[in-house]
Chains A and B, each alone.
Chain A
Amino acid sequence: MTVDADWTIVVPVKQVPDADDVTIDPETGTLNRSDAPAVLNAPDYNAVEAALSLRERAGGEVVAVTMGPPFARAVLETAVALGADDAVLLTDRAFGGSDTWPTSLALARAADELDADVVVCGEESTDSSTGQVPPGIAAHNGWAQLTYAEELEPRPDDDELVAVRDVEGGHERVAAETPVVVAFEYGENEPRAAGLHRKIYAETEFEPEEWSAEDLGISEQVGLVNSPTKVGGMDTADPVEREQAVVDDVDALSDRITEVTADD
């Protein structure tokens, strides 16, 4: 164990299809994810920014981690271009088909392996929007969790992280012991742009480390077979029927609104 007040800040990131380009196959009703260009999950930009800001205040380093096929390294390059010091790619056929249970296990093991003091995740992914991975990581490691965090205040000397959290109808300020897993609320900070030099470094020189399921000691606990949930089918949502009537003037619109609101 090294005596080191600086924090290791791990940022799990995800490669997702660009939401604007996802289509549904009319024949099968499944999503054509492969047609869409893969990008860094939008809420993860806020997570990277929150991590970089913590590094500036607490000292230490930021390490991005993603689980995915070899080409998922592209989002690690994005994270490094934004300012992450290093990155690890968790890649193994054994991971294929993992739901949030094994995914959060793999990320939890990686965070532990990296000696993380703080793990900063995005709030949720835009392609599956469960928000289950951050608390899952915390649960696998028995660490504290701070979800829906809007502001972070590092207290490295006390081994604590303080967060302002969004709770129903208000806010709370919570102090958590490190190591701690944060899910940073989408849009709650202003992600910086990648610097040109950093960008060139990320694209030309940088090589992420690669870890397999075996490296993490979890070959028998990941993948589709070890995922409690199974997708039983996918279909296009029933469209909501609307009148789609365009009215000519405000009077007509006002009459409609009066009718609607008069019912109660």
Chain B
Amino acid sequence: MTDDDTVHEDVWVFVEEHGGDVAGVSWELLAKGRELADETGEDLVALVVGEGVDDVGAEAVERGADRALVADDPVFEPYRAGPYGDQFRALVEERRPSIVLIGGTTTGRDFAGRVAVPADAGLTADCTELDVDDEGLLLARRPTFGGDAMATIKCPDHRPQMATVRAGVFDAAERDPDRDGDVEAVDVVVEADDALSRVLEREVGDVADITDADVVVAGGGGTEGDFAPVEALADALDGEVAASRKAVDEGWVEPARQVGQTGKTVRPDLYVAAGISGAVQHVEGMNDAETVVAVNTDPNAPIFEHADYGIVGDLHEVLPELTDRLGGRSPPEPTA
């Protein structure tokens, strides 16, 4: 399975698309991919798979890709690992990219894990930093052990070098309508009948996305199951409610709102941690917040070491008072 001397070049970005909507992380990866391609002197190629996605390919060019490869067929909507994986494998064998970047979403991780095996690729999960060394080798850095350590992973002998990357780590590539590039329709190698699975129903929009919020107010064990003060403050600040693993495990808050190693990574301007002790697994998910405010009854809670401003007190008293003051100052904008 060790690679031969075949030349592998170009940086590919998998543009994740669902029913015409592109996952934000894909545009973030185009920005980072552009940097890497410029450094190695290679092309940046966007891989777009879906149905009716020519315009997504065109947008990828506007956002920095030199070329977009578009595999367009009804078999690709909605996403399934089998058809996507077979198409990817055919393209990789034919075109031999050096680097492939994929967003670390549930779909991206499902896809990456599937395709790395038949491609004999090295795959690094959930990277937060990417670089290339002097020989063009990808240096993929990822947090390990609850964010206490960073590991650098290399893939010296196998191509492509693949990495999934966390959403929100890089800034998205801007659109430039004057950029030139090819949008190439590639041969679809997948037959509809080959699929091992079929999607019976798909419903999106029922789950909150806390990763995009500017303000996140999170509650933990200290709420004792009463999230009303957390929700009220989030409301006053026009933010999203989030939770620690403890609060999710107790069933107080749905899993989509969990912040931390087994939950989501958030990057708000303001993160309020209320009644959260501050285990490393939680802190990893909020480390990218611009400002962290902590409210906890225990003055020795580790969360205070990870906060910019803290107050020792019961959140059931502190939060309502805070909501009062903030609500009074910034009433919600009237909606048209």
Interface pick from B65-73, B181-189, B219-227, B308-316: B308-316
**Bound-complex Cα distance A104 to B113 (A):** 10
* Closest Cβ–Cβ distance, residue B147 to chain A (whole Å): 6
Q: Which residues of B contact A140 (CB under 8 A)?
A: 117
* Closest Cβ–Cβ distance, residue A199 to chain B (whole Å): 24
List B residues 316-330 near A (Cβ within 8 Å). Answer: 318, 321-322, 325-326, 329-330
B153-A232 in contact (CB<8A): yes
A185-B255 in contact (CB<8A): yes
Q: Which residues of A contact B259 (CB under 8 A)?
A: none
A236-B150 in contact (CB<8A): yes
Q: Which residues of B contact A234 (CB under 8 A)?
A: 144, 149-152
B155 adjacent to chain A (CB < 8 Å): yes
* Closest Cβ–Cβ distance, residue B333 to chain A (whole Å): 13
B82-A168 in contact (CB<8A): no
**Bound-complex Cα distance A26 to B150 (A):** 14
Q: 28 A-B residue contacts at CB 8 Å?
A: A24-B148, A100-B113, A101-B117, A101-B123, A132-B123, A133-B113, A140-B117, A143-B196, A144-B82, A148-B106, A168-B105, A169-B205, A170-B204, A170-B205, A172-B200, A174-B200, A180-B196, A180-B197, A185-B255, A228-B158, A232-B139, A233-B151, A242-B292, A242-B308, A250-B321, A258-B326, A258-B330, A260-B270
Interface pick from A61-69, A75-83, A123-131: A123-131
Q: Which residues of A contact B201 (CB under 8 A)?
A: 172-173
**Bound-complex Cα distance A146 to B200 (A):** 13
B149-A186 in contact (CB<8A): no
Interface size class of A (residues with CB under 8 A): 35 or more
List A residues 145-175 near B (Cβ within 8 Å). Answer: 145-148, 162, 165-175
Please give 9 more A-B residue pairs, beta carbons under 8 A apart, in addition to A131-B113, A230-B153.
A167-B18, A168-B106, A168-B107, A170-B206, A230-B154, A232-B152, A237-B148, A254-B322, A260-B270
B116-A240 in contact (CB<8A): no
Q: Which residues of A contact B262 (CB under 8 A)?
A: 43, 123-124, 186-187
Chain A: interface secondary structure? mixed
**Bound-complex Cα distance A138 to B113 (A):** 9
A132-B197 in contact (CB<8A): no
B305-A242 in contact (CB<8A): yes
List B residues 261-295 near A (Cβ within 8 Å). Answer: 261-262, 269-270, 272, 281, 287, 290-293
A145-B204 in contact (CB<8A): no
Residue of A nearest to B237 (CB): A261
B202-A167 in contact (CB<8A): yes
Q: Which residues of A contact B130 (CB under 8 A)?
A: none
* Closest Cβ–Cβ distance, residue B325 to chain A (whole Å): 4
Closest 3 CB pairs of A and B: A135-B113, A228-B122, A170-B204
B304 adjacent to chain A (CB < 8 Å): yes
**Bound-complex Cα distance A146 to B293 (A):** 38
B78-A264 in contact (CB<8A): no
Residue of A nearest to B85 (CB): A139
A263-B113 in contact (CB<8A): no
Q: Which residues of A contact B117 (CB under 8 A)?
A: 101, 104-105, 135-136, 139-140
**Bound-complex Cα distance A204 to B107 (A):** 43
**Bound-complex Cα distance A257 to B110 (A):** 39
B325-A187 in contact (CB<8A): no
List B residues 1-15 near A (Cβ within 8 Å). Answer: 1
* Closest Cβ–Cβ distance, residue B274 to chain A (whole Å): 12
Chain B: interface secondary structure? mixed
**Bound-complex Cα distance A248 to B311 (A):** 7
Q: C-beta contact mask, A103-141 vs B, less than 8 Å → 1, else 0?
A: 011000000000000000001101111111111101110
A57 adjacent to chain B (CB < 8 Å): no
**Bound-complex Cα distance A19 to B261 (A):** 12
**Bound-complex Cα distance A235 to B144 (A):** 10
**Bound-complex Cα distance A124 to B262 (A):** 9
A1 adjacent to chain B (CB < 8 Å): no
Choice from A136, A188, A233, A243 contacting B152 with Cβ under 8 Å: A233
A175-B203 in contact (CB<8A): no
Q: C-beta contact mask, B217-257 vs A, less than 8 Å → 1, else 0?
A: 00000000000000000000100000001001100000110
Q: C-beta contact mask, A8-23 vs B, less than 8 Å → 1, else 0?
A: 0000000000010010
Q: Which residues of A contact B98 (CB under 8 A)?
A: none
A139-B115 in contact (CB<8A): yes
Check A187/B249 contact, CB under 8 A, given A19-B281, A172-B201, A175-B197. yes
Residue of B nearest to A177 (CB): B196
B106-A147 in contact (CB<8A): yes
A176-B197 in contact (CB<8A): yes
Q: Which residues of A contact B114 (CB under 8 A)?
A: 135-136, 138-139, 145
List B residues 103-145 near A (Cβ within 8 Å). Answer: 105-107, 109-110, 112-118, 120-126, 139, 143-145
Q: Which residues of B contact A3 (CB under 8 A)?
A: none
A196 adjacent to chain B (CB < 8 Å): no
Residue among B82, B115, B121, B237 with max Cβ neighbours from chain A (10 Å):
B82
**Bound-complex Cα distance A76 to B215 (A):** 44
Residue of B nearest to A102 (CB): B1
Check A175/B200 contact, CB under 8 A, given A247-B311, A250-B322. yes
